[in-house]
Amino acid sequence: MKGETVEEIAAAAEVMRALASPVNVTDKTHLVDTCGTGGDAAHTFNISTTAAFVVAAAGARVAKHGNRSVSSKSGSADVLEAAGVNLELSAEQVGQCVDQIGVGFMFAPKHHAAMKHAIGPRREMGVRTIFNLLGPLTNPAGAPHQVLGVFSAEWLEPLAQVLGKLGSRHVLVVHAKDGLDEISIGAETEIAELRDGRVHRLTVWPEQFGLQRADIATLVVTSATDSLAMMKSVLDNRPGAARDIVLLNAGAAIYAAGLAATLGDGVVMARAAIESGAAKHKLEALVTLSQKLAGK
């Protein structure tokens, strides 16, 4: 399969954005998405989905874009459905969620109708395609801030450049040395940071933020139910690798959203959001409001 260029990916993303059902959010000042490419084959629990509630609790608005599993044991849609979130909301209703409680979930097939034809072939192929790259680049709410995990370090700078072309303001594109498409608790993580139209590279590691390195094998799940249990343990502030990896990724999103001066400050804010119970409350609020809006 030939490699895609920055221009080709940006053009494809622009077409998908134009065809998407847009989610209107009243205030985009601190609007952020935590959507990765997936395809890292690590089968960890839904780290960026858990982080979304922490980020919202810290004061950002989160328009979380996601789908069911393609290669993992639990996609963001799978774990949220297991938690009781109604996925069948209209674009307008998702916007209401973001406006009213600071977090909403955009279930990709509801917003990218043309993409439903790709679901079957993607599953059958079982390999990474341009669609893995396009998902995180086509946020229907147009979130200008983002933490985007990628399955390979070769995509760090290209995707940061693509998001710059698409008008993003502050983005961290991340890939860990242990293969995770997240900021890892088990290894160094390489980051391409887009800010003020410029891209620069940096490397971070857990100890920088006072966190103990841990084997990511402890974060592996076999189902959406498993993933939900781990998500709830984090939101209940249970110490361990799961909570720590969420602190790292939520901290990055709080920083990208413009609420923290540094990634380290973001981690401190993330910890406070979990310890206060505010992050757990955001999940409960999304379950309640999504069911109410869906008329359930």
Q: End-to-end alpha-carbon separation of the chain, Å? A: 45
Whether the predicted pLDDT of 21 surpasses 90 = no
Tokens of 136: 């995180």
Q: pTM of the predicted model, to two decimals?
A: 0.94
Q: What is the mean pLDDT of residues 148-152?
A: 94
Contact 206, 248 (CB under 8 A): yes
Q: Is 97 a member of any domain?
A: yes
Report the CATH number that the domain containing residue 57 is assigned in CATH: 3.40.1030.10
Q: Is 10 a member of any domain?
A: yes
pLDDT in tens, 52-73: 999 999 999 999 998 888 667 7
Alpha-carbon distance of 172 to 181, in angstroms, equals 12
Q: Is 185 a member of any domain?
A: yes
What pLDDT does 36 receive? 84
Q: Is 277 a member of any domain?
A: yes
Q: Is 296 a member of any domain?
A: no
Sheet holding 31-34, edge to edge: 103-107, 61-66, 31-34, 145-149, 170-176, 189-195, 198-204
Contact 144, 31 (CB under 8 A): yes
Alpha-carbon distance of 70 to 122, in angstroms, equals 7
Looking at the 3D structure of the chain, how many domains does it have? 1
Q: What one-character DSSP code corresponds to residue 20?
A: S
Confidence band of 246 (pLDDT split at 50, 70, 90): very high
Q: Is 198 a member of any domain?
A: yes
Q: Is 294 a member of any domain?
A: no
Nearest of 106, 88, 115, 79 to residue 25 by alpha carbon: 106
What pLDDT does 185 receive? 99
Question: How many residues in the chain?
Answer: 296
- The residue with greater pLDDT, 132 or 210, is 210
Alpha-carbon distance of 175 to 155, in angstroms, equals 9
Q: Which domain holds residue 231?
A: 6-289
Task: Name, in order, each residue with C-beta under 8 angstroms of 15's C-beta and a sequence gap of 6 or more.
Answer: none
Task: Name, in order, each residue with C-beta under 8 angstroms of 11's C-beta and a sequence gap of 6 or more.
Answer: none
pLDDT in tens, 75-109: 899 999 999 999 999 999 999 999 999 999 999 88
Give the largest CA-CA distance in the chain. Answer: 49
Tokens of 232: 């709830």
Whether the predicted pLDDT of 121 surpasses 60 = no
Alpha-carbon distance of 11 to 44, in angstroms, equals 31
Q: What is the mean pLDDT of residues 124-146?
A: 80
Q: What is the mean pLDDT of residues 186-213?
A: 98
Q: Is 1 a member of any domain?
A: no
